[in-house]
Amino acid sequence: MREQHRKWRARIGPEKIRAANLWKKYRITPEQYDALREAQDYRCKICGTHEDDITAVLSGRPRLDGQQTAEPARLVVDHCHSGRRVRGLLCNHCNAMIGQSRDQPAILRAGAAYLEGAVRCIPYASRRG
């Protein structure tokens, strides 16, 4: 089965693999992804960082055949896990923040309140001695 999958991937190429992944995971096409990017002015929907200023995160392992993989997306698809709907495109940091909060706005609000209330931070000794 693994060998069949490898042959299929080699036959269709990186762009079609990307299209298949977008459809399988989020039920969107590459054109819909690009339309979202344009609608968001190529920026993270939360922090506003432009995709050119985001370091692309390489995922997965290197190809065994040495061929180039598709360019990794700089803005990742954020989706609602319960309703299976795409919410927008985020940078990896904001996407991780949403995931770590378990998609619960109350946790994010509590985190913001904590940061805003932490005006007086307790200094700690440096390790340099």
Task: Write the CATH number for 47.
Answer: 3.40.1800.10
In this predicted structure, what is the pLDDT of residue 35?
96
Whole-structure pTM value = 0.73
Tell me if 123 is assigned to some domain: no
Tell me if 35 is assigned to some domain: yes
The mean pLDDT values, 10 residues at a time, for the chain of 129 residues are: 81 84 90 95 95 75 65 83 86 92 92 82 69
In this predicted structure, what is the pLDDT of residue 32?
94
Tell me if 53 is assigned to some domain: yes
Tell me if 127 is assigned to some domain: no
In this predicted structure, what is the pLDDT of residue 105?
92
Give the CA count within 13 Å in the CB-facing half-sphere of 55.
3
In this predicted structure, what is the pLDDT of residue 78?
92
Query: What range defines the domain where residue 101 resides?
Result: 2-117
Domain count, the chain: 1
State how far the Cα of 43 lies from the Cα of 49, in Å rounded to an integer: 5
